[in-house]
Amino acid sequence: MTSIALANNSPLRHPDFIFGTATSSFQIEGDAANRLPCIWDTFCNTAGKIADASNGLVACEHVQRWQEDVALIASLGVDAYRLSISWPRVIKQDGSLNTDGVAFYIKLLDGLNAKGIKPFVTLYHWDLPQHIEDQGGWLNRNTANLFADYVSKIVPALGKRVHSYATFNEPFCSAYLGYEAGVHAPGKTGRKNGRQAAHHILLAHGLGMQQLQRLSPSTLNGIVLNFTPCYPATSRAEDIAATDKANQYINHWYIKPLMDGCYPDILQELAVDDRPEVREGDFEIMQAPLDFLGVNFYTRLTYSAPSKAGEFYTELPHLAPQTDIGWEIYPQALTEWLVSLNQCYDLPPIYITENGAAMADKLDDGEVLDYDRVAYYDGHLNALSEAMLQGVDVKGYFAWSLMDNFEWAEGYQKRFGLVYVDYATQQRIPKLSAKAYSALITQR
């Protein structure tokens, strides 16, 4: 496929619908010498954790090349750009502002605003300062207070340059992958750890929202959650019941406290020792009103009944067709998930804050003809249109990612960019998908 085609009645054609693209600090910035170490530096320095043994020391050299990158973003014709602030770049170990780090973001935000591109800023996209992890990280309740303190300092420092703030990107990944499964930094494991980290992150979100409400009431303030819709492998009652448990455990666990002020029912099935410690008033803090909910969507998963005692479900391997990272391509799950989420909760307006695909790109004669990624975007943007036609209030869509970058435990081998990065030269080469996305936006 060479272009993205929306139906004539697609709500995405509305001129107010926001199209953007996204990155995060650790994945693109580099310039590690001018910030504090973070948990991902430590994880990258631990043998066997990153597929290609790489790290974020250089990444896409975005701190040096930000002007070129702003021009690149503008050349796509997007309305908005989603970036994250590196906590270890803007706050020193004593808790005071690092004015050099802040100056970088001020230049970047000014550059975006000068081109009419709305900055959507995420305050935490996984790069926890290492000295805070040394005090227990997200297992230590005080990290939630440290996050609120960071928010109270960085938000006034950025002034009126920001269109939207998200407190966190994907608490599931920080808590489950980082503290329960151990495949992301800081690599801790165990159900209790994962559930406790999630609780402290959601608490930090609520405390951060209080600061945003106080210091920046006119920006769109919210949170970004990732969801992987769960489908039963068969119509057997055991598989359906297991799928419902998976859905509670991996999806609703991170949204229900914010919307309904409690954890899903599966909490009662956890051993008492595995349940998070919750203090009186925590859920009220978490339930701070949201101006928007960011939804990140990539794939779905299928489930069957558990095969071992003590488990709630069996997660099955991804079905075909798959992207290069091994995730099933199943756009209809985006429609179905948004419609079901909308039925379940009283939601604020939604932005799709990430959607995209890692593909096995080939740079050939100066071009990357990623027809497969264009087809992925076509399928998902049309699935999003369908959800909106069914009544879901979606205000915008961000393609992940602007450019190839450090894909966490996969290193640089998996490429999600609209723009190809030649890491040897740091040359940026827009792929066919960049041209297709740009044509969609400019011709809507």
Find the catalytic residue in 29, 133, 170, 410.
Answer: 170
**Which residues contact ligand IFM (rule: CB under 6 A)?**
24, 27, 170, 296, 354, 400, 407, 416
Closest contact distance (angstroms) between CB of 24 and ligand IFM is 5
Closest contact distance (angstroms) between CB of 280 and ligand IFM is 33
Please give the single-letter amino acid code of residue 264: P
Measured in degrees and rounded to the nearest 5, phi and psi for residue 113 equal -60, -35
Burial 220-238 (b: 16+ CB within 10 A, else e): bbbbbbbbbbbbbbeeeee
Closest contact distance (angstroms) between CB of 310 and ligand IFM is 29
Of 340, 351, 439, 333, which Cα lies nearest the Cα of 393? 351
CA atoms of 306 and 149, how far apart (whole Å): 43
Comparing CB distances to ligand IFM, the nearer of 63 and 399 is 399
Residue 21 · residue 82 · CB < 8 Å: yes
Closest contact distance (angstroms) between CB of 345 and ligand IFM is 22
Q: 290: which 2 tokens? A: 């949201």
Closest contact distance (angstroms) between CB of 170 and ligand IFM is 6
Burial of residue 78 (CB within 10 Å: 0-12, 13-18, 19+) is buried
Closest contact distance (angstroms) between CB of 354 and ligand IFM is 5
Burial of residue 101 (CB within 10 Å: 0-12, 13-18, 19+) is buried
Comparing CB distances to ligand IFM, the nearer of 10 and 164 is 164
Q: 214: which 2 tokens? A: 């106080």
Length of the chain, in residues: 444
Half-sphere exposure of 217 (CA within 13 A, CB side): 2
Burial of residue 440 (CB within 10 Å: 0-12, 13-18, 19+) is buried
Comparing CB distances to ligand IFM, the nearer of 285 and 384 is 384
The CA-atom distances, in angstroms, between 126 and each of 17, 69, 444 are 28, 22, 34
Helix (H) or strand (E) holding 110: helix 99-114
Comparing CB distances to ligand IFM, the nearer of 41 and 407 is 407
CA atoms of 40 and 187, how far apart (whole Å): 10
Closest contact distance (angstroms) between CB of 256 and ligand IFM is 21
Measured in degrees and rounded to the nearest 5, phi and psi for residue 124 equal -145, 110
Comparing CB distances to ligand IFM, the nearer of 243 and 401 is 401
Please give the single-letter amino acid code of residue 285: I
Closest contact distance (angstroms) between CB of 434 and ligand IFM is 17
Cis peptide before 306 (omega within 30 of 0): no
Find the catalytic residue in 133, 180, 336, 354.
Answer: 354
CA atoms of 166 and 409, how far apart (whole Å): 24
Measured in degrees and rounded to the nearest 5, phi and psi for residue 354 equal -155, 135
Comparing CB distances to ligand IFM, the nearer of 305 and 384 is 384
Q: Which residues contact 309 (CB under 8 A, 6 or more apart)?
A: none
Q: 353: which 2 tokens? A: 């804050």
Measured in degrees and rounded to the nearest 5, phi and psi for residue 84 equal -120, 155
Comparing CB distances to ligand IFM, the nearer of 274 and 315 is 315
277 catalytic residue (yes or no): no
354 catalytic residue (yes or no): yes
Comparing CB distances to ligand IFM, the nearer of 226 and 335 is 226
Residues serving a catalytic function are 170, 354
